[in-house]
Structure 1
Amino acid sequence: MYPKKIANETAEVIQNYLTYQAVRLIIDQLSETNPKKGIWLRQYASSQNIQKGEAFIEGLMAEDKELVLRILKVREYLASEVMEFMPQMVRHNINQANVEHRRQLLERLTGSPSMSSTASESENDDSKPNSD
């Protein structure tokens, strides 16, 4: 395993995603304050590869420097707000998902029905009228 390489690639993905979220947020804001510019940014973003955040920003520099500065500011704000919670949330979500997947795998291996389907079946049985 190469934890540092994985961390670098993960950081790049998060950075690109925060750029995407910043652009979406600015488009929403512009749709209320400057609809024409909001439409332009939406069209520009849909015609470019926004998944590569840094290349997207570099391309936008040639079109609208003001929007670039706004994206950078919003992206930095999002990073400062979001990143505080990320490590703990990711660990928790992965642990919870792993527990659920292991439970499902164990049920499949042992052939036992899932507890959730058993519970829903018993609720359905309770809702059926007695034919006595």
Structure 2
Amino acid sequence: MNLKQIAKDTARTLQSYLTYQALRTVMAQLSETNPPLSIWLHNFSAGKVQDGEVYLEQLFREKPDLALRIMTVREHIVEEVADFLPEMVRAGIQQANMEQRRQHLERMTQLSLSNVSLELGEQASSDPNLDNLSS
């Protein structure tokens, strides 16, 4: 396990996600101030934001002012969330893991209980002495 590579990949994924969030913010702003440009940006961006840096390179070729605006918003977002993000991710993963384990345990115990019920049902139907108990 290469932890340094995992950290790099995670950072790159987070950068792309923040680019996407910045794009959504800019499109929302433009929809109020310049709807035709918002529509253009929406159409241009469709399916291109998987890699935020590649997306921004493409946008720079078409509309540099929008690329700069998205980069500015992205930088603002990261400044606002960067301080508490590591703890939120850590706590979120711990909570999600606990919930997954709980659900798994519930499924296992339900399976075990249903198997026991089935076995008891089969024993009751095959044991003639149990039929006489109700008389």
TM > 0.5: yes
Whole-Å Cα distance in 1 between the matches of residues 25 and 53 of structure 2?
Answer: 17
Q: CA RMSD in A?
A: 1.5
1:39 and 2:50 aligned = no
Give unmatched runs, 5+ long, in structure 1. 114-132
CA deviation string 1:25-66 (max 9, x = no partner):
1000000011111111111111x5211111111111111111
CA deviation string 1:51-100 (max 9, x = no partner):
11111111111111111110110010111112222111111111111111
Aligned to 1:67: 66
Whole-Å Cα distance in 2 between the matches of residues 24 and 90 of structure 1?
Answer: 22
Alignment of 1:21-40 (within 5 A): 21-40=21-40
> Counterpart of 1:24 in structure 2: which amino acid?
R
Give unmatched runs, 5+ long, in structure 2. 114-135
Whole-Å Cα distance in 2 between the matches of residues 27 and 107 of structure 1?
Answer: 44
What is the identity percentage for the equivalent residue pairs of Structure 1 and Structure 2? 51
Aligned to 1:92: 91
Q: Report the 3-state secondary structure (helix = DSSP H, G, I; strand = E; otherwise coil) of the residue aligned with 2:62.
A: coil
Alignment of 1:12-23 (within 5 A): 12-23=12-23
Q: Report the 3-state secondary structure (helix = DSSP H, G, I; strand = E; otherwise coil) of the residue aligned with 1:62.
A: helix
By how many angstroms is 1:109 displaced?
A: 2.8
Whole-Å Cα distance in 1 between the matches of residues 97 and 61 of structure 2?
Answer: 46
Whole-Å Cα distance in 1 between the matches of residues 107 and 70 of structure 2?
Answer: 48
Whole-Å Cα distance in 2 between the matches of residues 80 and 69 of structure 1?
Answer: 17
TM-score normalised per structure 1: 0.79
Q: Report the 3-state secondary structure (helix = DSSP H, G, I; strand = E; otherwise coil) of the residue aligned with 1:7.
A: helix
> Counterpart of 2:2 in structure 1: which amino acid?
Y
